[in-house]
């Protein structure tokens, strides 16, 4: 069901709850983002429902009137089968809004309902009972997108761990789909999975995956350790901000790029092109999103270790998106949680080719220490390359190194890791005047002790 044929996308109703702590603008932006998530997963949005409440209804999130309105769109009864008559709390009933007129959508019915909240197992069961449709929450949608887009073994393991933790308490709660093959969340479907997995087996599987992940992470740690003395830039930011396009332009490499949320889940590291001496490495990282499930943040912490090893962070935002300021705050909050907020950084206002000159100037006044560019314009990428190169060269020092003719093999290593300014041949050997980072020079001196 979650793999529809082209032009046969399942119809979904999006449902959001606006609490007093959330502004109208934030609420609508979150629902619009939920729509993009649904589209990425292969659904077509039939309509969107929203309700203002002081707090969610414990059993069904939305109120009774809104639940009936939702059921008209799905062909459900609007009644929770297990609920006893009169069992709803008095304050819940008193708080109901007047039911809005349900949009006239003809005979078209939604088969999926997606809530912009994280649902408890009981809420999931009650909502599926009342709507007769498959019900997903924001967390489940994001995890499913991650599941489909993961390509490397490490990313697949990380997503499966988060997915199993999410599914475990929900396996036997969902009524819709328990007798249906191929429906539900994931390749097998939540219904089929409920008959195959129990909590003990899930616990054992998670333990097995963690052991496999630990082995992979040990290898990755060793690889990062070997790169520690190299200059590294990490691209960080909200999903679909254009990080992969920027990575592709900076490194002249065939990085996967697609206009979808979470198109990139696997950290990629490439040398900046044209290549500098010493080399500058660029790493692309998984994108962030509002309400990113905690288990996914924890699972991808190791992937974000690439950012922790970087000397410069490029905060990439889609400047053409009116909500990019809130998205930037989400990115900063996650990086602060990872203790990376003190790392040198530069704000990249990407996709400015979609804005007029007046809007660009207004942004530069608002963010005076940022760089406005388009990853599609070669002149903008050349300017960014120069800024990156200058950043790493500001702390470099010059030194003279004497390499005896007997140790000529060192010359190749030095030329790879240091910029050679001058080369002089003497009776004792070759004198190289180099420009390099203090740490690189210190490491060389400890190994060879041949500074002139």
Model confidence at 419, pLDDT cuts 50, 70, 90, reads confident
More confident residue, 177 or 211: 211
Give the pLDDT confidence score for residue 85 in this predicted structure. Answer: 44
Query: Does 249 have pLDDT greater than 70?
Result: yes
Low-confidence winner among 20-24, 260-264, 282-286, 437-441 (lowest mean pLDDT): 260-264
Model confidence at 1, pLDDT cuts 50, 70, 90, reads very low
Give the pLDDT confidence score for residue 285 in this predicted structure. Answer: 80
Model confidence at 27, pLDDT cuts 50, 70, 90, reads very high
Give the pLDDT confidence score for residue 189 in this predicted structure. Answer: 47
Give the pLDDT confidence score for residue 150 in this predicted structure. Answer: 77
**Architecture of 227-393 per CATH?**
3-Layer(aba) Sandwich (3.40)
Q: What is the mean pLDDT of residues 404-421?
A: 84
* 429-436, strands of its sheet edge to edge: 397-404, 429-436, 419-425
| Residue in the block written with tokens 């789909």 | 177
Provide the percentage of residues in the chain whose pLDDT is more than 90. 38
**Contact between 119 and 135 (Cβ < 8 Å):** yes
Give the pLDDT confidence score for residue 438 in this predicted structure. Answer: 85
Q: Is the dihedral of CA 330, 333, 335, 338 positive or negative?
A: negative
Give the pLDDT confidence score for residue 221 in this predicted structure. Answer: 62
Give the pLDDT confidence score for residue 265 in this predicted structure. Answer: 52
- CA–CA separation, 309 vs 360, rounded Å? 32
Domains 11-149 and 397-448 alike in fold: no
More confident residue, 324 or 337: 324
Query: Does 424 have pLDDT greater than 80?
Result: yes
Model confidence at 276, pLDDT cuts 50, 70, 90, reads confident
User: In whole numbers, what is the pLDDT of the chain averaged over residues?
Assistant: 81
Query: Does 408 have pLDDT greater than 80?
Result: no
Q: What's the CATH fold of domain 11-149?
A: Rossmann fold (3.40.50)
**Contact between 220 and 154 (Cβ < 8 Å):** yes
More confident residue, 297 or 303: 297
Query: Does 387 have pLDDT greater than 90?
Result: yes
Q: What is the pLDDT of residues 341-352, one digit of tens each?
A: 778 999 999 999
To the nearest 10°, the Cα dihedral for 335, 339, 344, 345?
10
Domain spans of the chain?
Answer: 11-149, 151-172+185-226, 227-393, 397-448
- pTM of the full structure: 0.74
Give the pLDDT confidence score for residue 176 in this predicted structure. Answer: 42
Helix axes 243-251, 378-393, angle to 10 degrees: 80
Residue 190 forms beta bridges with which residues? none
Q: What is the pLDDT of residues 207-235, one digit of tens each?
A: 999 999 888 877 666 655 555 567 889 99
More confident residue, 262 or 230: 230
- CA–CA separation, 342 vs 278, rounded Å? 24
Q: Tell me whether residue 32 is exposed, middle or buried, using C-beta atoms within 10 angstroms of its C-beta: 0 to 12, 13 to 18, 19 or more.
A: middle
Give the pLDDT confidence score for residue 196 in this predicted structure. Answer: 55
Give the pLDDT confidence score for residue 246 in this predicted structure. Answer: 94
Low-confidence winner among 129-133, 152-156, 318-322, 391-395 (lowest mean pLDDT): 152-156
Pick the CATH number of 397-448 from 3.30.420, 2.60.40, 2.70.70, 3.30.70: 3.30.70
Model confidence at 261, pLDDT cuts 50, 70, 90, reads low
Q: What is the mean pLDDT of residues 295-313?
A: 71
**Contact between 123 and 60 (Cβ < 8 Å):** yes
Query: Does 177 have pLDDT greater than 80?
Result: no
- CA–CA separation, 372 vs 317, rounded Å? 10
- CA–CA separation, 348 vs 308, rounded Å? 19
Q: What is the pLDDT of residues 70-98, one digit of tens each?
A: 999 999 999 887 544 444 443 444 444 44
């Amino acid at each position: 069901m979650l793999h529809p044929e082209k032009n046969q996308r399942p119809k979904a109703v999006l449902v959001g709850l606006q609490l007093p702590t959330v502004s109208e603008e934030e609420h609508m932006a979150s629902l619009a983002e939920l729509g993009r998530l649904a589209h990425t997963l292969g659904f077509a949005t039939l309509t969107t429902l929203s309700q203002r409440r002081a707090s969610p209804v414990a059993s069904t999130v939305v109120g009774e009137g809104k639940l009936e309105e939702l059921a008209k769109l799905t062909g459900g009864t609007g009644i929770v089968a297990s609920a006893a008559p009169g069992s709803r709390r008095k304050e819940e009933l008193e708080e109901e809004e007047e039911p809005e007129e349900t949009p006239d959508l003809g005979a078209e019915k939604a088969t999926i309902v997606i809530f912009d909240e994280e649902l408890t197992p009981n809420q999931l069961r009650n909502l599926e009972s009342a709507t007769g449709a498959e019900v997903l929450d924001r967390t489940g949608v994001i995890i499913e997108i991650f599941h489909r887009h993961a390509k490397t073994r490490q990313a697949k393991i990380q997503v499966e761990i988060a997915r199993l933790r999410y599914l475990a308490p929900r396996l036997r709660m969902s009524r819709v789909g328990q007798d249906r093959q191929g429906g539900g969340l994931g390749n097998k479907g939540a219904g089929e999975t409920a008959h195959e997995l129990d909590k003990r087996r899930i616990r054992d599987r998670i333990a097995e995956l963690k052991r496999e992940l630990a082995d992979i992470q040990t290898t990755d740690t060793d690889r990062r350790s070997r790169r520690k003395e190299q200059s590294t830039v990490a691209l960080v930011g909200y999903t679909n901000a254009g990080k992969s396009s920027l990575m592709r332009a900076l490194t002249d490499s065939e990085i996967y790029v697609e206009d979808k949320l979470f198109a990139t889940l696997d950290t990629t590291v490439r040398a900046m092109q044209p290549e500098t001496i010493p080399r500058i490495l660029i790493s692309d990282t998984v994108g962030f999103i509002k309400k990113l499930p905690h288990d996914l943040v924890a699972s991808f912490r190791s992937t974000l270790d690439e950012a922790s090893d970087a000397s410069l962070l490029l905060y990439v935002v889609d400047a053409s998106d009116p909500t990019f300021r809130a998205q930037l705050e989400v990115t900063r909050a996650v990086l602060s949680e990872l203790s990376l907020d003190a790392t040198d950084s530069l704000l990249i206002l990407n996709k400015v080719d979609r804005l007029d000159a007046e809007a660009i100037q207004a942004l530069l006044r608002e963010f005076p220490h940022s760089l406005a560019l388009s990853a599609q314009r070669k002149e903008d990428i050349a300017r960014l390359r120069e800024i990156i190169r200058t950043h790493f060269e500001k702390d470099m020092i010059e030194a003279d190194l004497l390499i005896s003719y007997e140790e000529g093999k060192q010359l190749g290593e030095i030329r790879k890791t240091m910029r050679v300014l001058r080369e002089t041949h003497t009776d004792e050997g070759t004198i190289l005047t180099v420009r390099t980072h203090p740490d690189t020079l210190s490491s060389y001196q400890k190994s060879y002790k041949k500074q002139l």
